[in-house]
Amino acid sequence: MDFDLVIVGMGPVGAVAANLAGQFGLKTLVVDKALTIFDKPRAMGFDHEIMRIFGNIGIADKIASCVMPYRPSEYRNADNQLLRRIDAARAPYLLGWAPNYVFLQPQVEGALREDITLHPSVCVELGAEVTGVVSDGGGATTTVRLASGKEQIYRSSHVLACDGGTSPIRTRLGLEMEDLDFDEPWLVVDVILKDGCGGNLPETNVQYCEIERPATFVVGPAQVRRWEFMINPGEDPAEVAKPEFVRKLISRWLKDDEYDIWRASTYRFHALLLEKWRSESIFFLGDAAHMTPPFLAQGMCQGIRDAANLIWKLAFVKHGYAGKALLDSYEAERAPHVRKTTLVTKGLGKDICERDALRAKQRDERLLAEMQLNPAGTVRQSLIPGLGGGFLSTSASRPRGAVFPQPLVRDAHGKQAFLDEFTGATFRVVASEAFGATALEQLANVCSDLLPIPVKFVTVRPKDSRVAGIGGSYVDVDGVLLAWMDLHECAVVVIRPDHYVFGAASSASDGAALVRELELALQKGRSETAAEAHAVVG
């Protein structure tokens, strides 16, 4: 094989996939038609799961100047009544990072691409177009027209189609997208405020649920502000995107000399889900596999979750740690998660986009009644599901499939950092030191029996604990992790490389059984995969 992976498309999803592939030592080729990064924003929001992945990749500090915590979102009708409030969870944060962020996409993409160059196993071809992909039982053949005009053919074990909503690879294969019944035309406008301007703008994000023209306002980083306007029936999208029309729309909030238009583009906000996420050796990620309306800022998040879910599985199969059956869990896990999130987003969008006066009145009454019952509003993170099936324990229940917290911890030398920085993004077995040294040592021995499968055994103890820590022991500085374990009535947690919980247990003996279950689950077909890996040269 020329490569383990060929990644087609180097937008945020493809770039994250390439960085993760490089961290796992996968020989990877990334191909993108463009020579440079698109210099204007498209996505504008991501959540703490994605920031955690950015931290794992190593770009969190690099992008600090171009990200900002997301403001609460208020839904208001034409009478300015507050219909719904969606806010973030309060500190201390479960994943260490603020729950949601706005960001400048060109700068974040630049940081992702810069980090790709740090991985010697990853090659990049820009200005190159994939003209064909043929998959067979032994891998895939990808034909690429390079920037020089030369045609090159590569063999790889797998191809990741990160080639966007129009995905030529998906189209050539004739794969169908399921329509989840949302298709609305919108205008998206990004402006840059001039110095001293915009003081009268809302301090929160606002969904204007107005039947004359639904609209969205988002507070972006620095001087960037975004408006999204629904395009009315009979309006020409090309005309709507012209500066004179845009300025007329924004005149409700700003004078013409208070801002510069950075971008104005029209879109159709879709809710679509690929019916089949894999075709033999080809996997589909991001917009190539699903499209989500923007009302929960989950579009890019979903694609990056795809990459985080799939890359470690491909790496474990490649390195002989797991059998090929593990790859079947990609669609089994991601498709239901995306469906649930998209349906939630669609529900929010239906409320925002309502144009019928009677139904809008009924919507207002319903949402106002909900506000009376829950005046604090909805916590945004509660709208995002965990995993309901796939590569998870069959014996343990809650919090199986949840995202594992990332507490701030302190090691035996006094260093303080997020737990991921000490363990890396691999399999981890985390146990409470309340068990005592003997039980913990026995559990550690069970973990060591998994070698060469990379597993980190970690113990945690309270900040005020008088017990001396054992090897791999950390103090839970803010009590975030131990409180979460108490909430879920568990004292041992087995965590996957993508930070989702494989399973949890309340006793050391059940924890040991859970680790053995993990080993058996990874071994499914492992011997055949390992034999194939040794037989392949390249």
Burial of 213 (0-12, 13-18, 19+ CB in 10 A): middle
Same domain, 292 and 144: yes
Same domain, 24 and 149: yes
Same domain, 335 and 432: no
Domain for residue 286, yes or no? Answer: yes
Rounded CA gap, 45 and 315, in Å? Answer: 29
**Positions of the chain with pLDDT lower than 50, given as ranges:** 529-531, 533-538
Domain for residue 118, yes or no? Answer: yes
| Peptide bond before residue 452 is cis, with ω within 30 degrees of 0 | yes
The boundaries of the domain holding residue 518 are: 408-527
Given a contact cutoff of 8 angstroms between Cβ atoms, the answer to whether 175 and 299 are in contact is no
Same domain, 422 and 488: yes
For 16-31, what is the HEC assignment?
A: HHHHHHHHCCCCEEEE
Given a contact cutoff of 8 angstroms between Cβ atoms, the answer to whether 317 and 374 are in contact is no
Counting every residue written for the chain, the total comes to 538
Given a contact cutoff of 8 angstroms between Cβ atoms, the answer to whether 258 and 193 are in contact is yes
Boundary (domain end) residue, out of 331, 354, 377:
354
Same domain, 341 and 419: no
The DSSP annotation for 127-139 comes to S-EEEEEEEETTE
Domain for residue 394, yes or no? Answer: no
- Residue 172 is classified by DSSP as H
Q: 380 Cβ partners below 8 Å, 6+ apart?
A: 47, 70, 73, 86, 87, 88, 89, 99, 100, 296
CATH of the domain at 122: 3.50.50.60
Given a contact cutoff of 8 angstroms between Cβ atoms, the answer to whether 312 and 165 are in contact is no
Q: What is the pLDDT of residues 397-421, one digit of tens each?
A: 779 999 999 999 999 889 999 999 9
Same domain, 413 and 290: no
Report which of 338, 350, 344 is spatially closest to residue 290, judged by C-alpha positions: 338
Same domain, 427 and 518: yes
Work out how many domains the chain is built from and give that number: 2
Rounded CA gap, 497 and 57, in Å? Answer: 13
Domain for residue 377, yes or no? Answer: no
Same domain, 467 and 347: no
Per DSSP, the three-state class of 406 is: coil
Same domain, 347 and 432: no
Domain for residue 197, yes or no? Answer: no
Given a contact cutoff of 8 angstroms between Cβ atoms, the answer to whether 355 and 210 are in contact is no
Rounded CA gap, 355 and 304, in Å? Answer: 33
pLDDT at residue 434, rounded to an integer: 87
Same domain, 333 and 419: no
pLDDT at residue 532, rounded to an integer: 54
Which amino acid would we find at residue 138?
G
Strand extents, DSSP E, 285-381: 290-291, 378-379
Domain for residue 400, yes or no? Answer: no
Q: 377 Cβ partners below 8 Å, 6+ apart?
A: 72, 84, 85, 86, 87, 371
Per DSSP, the three-state class of 481 is: helix
pLDDT at residue 439, rounded to an integer: 92
Q: What is the pLDDT of residues 169-192, one digit of tens each?
A: 999 999 999 999 999 999 999 999
Given a contact cutoff of 8 angstroms between Cβ atoms, the answer to whether 315 and 505 are in contact is no
Boundary (domain end) residue, out of 311, 327, 354:
354
Boundary (domain end) residue, out of 335, 354, 373:
354
Domain for residue 342, yes or no? Answer: yes
pLDDT at residue 396, rounded to an integer: 73
CATH of the domain at 480: 3.40.30.120
pLDDT at residue 397, rounded to an integer: 74
Same domain, 299 and 445: no
Same domain, 147 and 283: yes
Using alpha carbons only, give the angle 476, 482, 486 rounded to the nearest 5 degrees: 170
Beta bridge partners of 135: 140
Which amino acid would we find at residue 44?
M
Domain for residue 135, yes or no? Answer: yes
Phi, psi of 255 (to 5 degrees): -80, 155
- Residue 84 is classified by DSSP as E
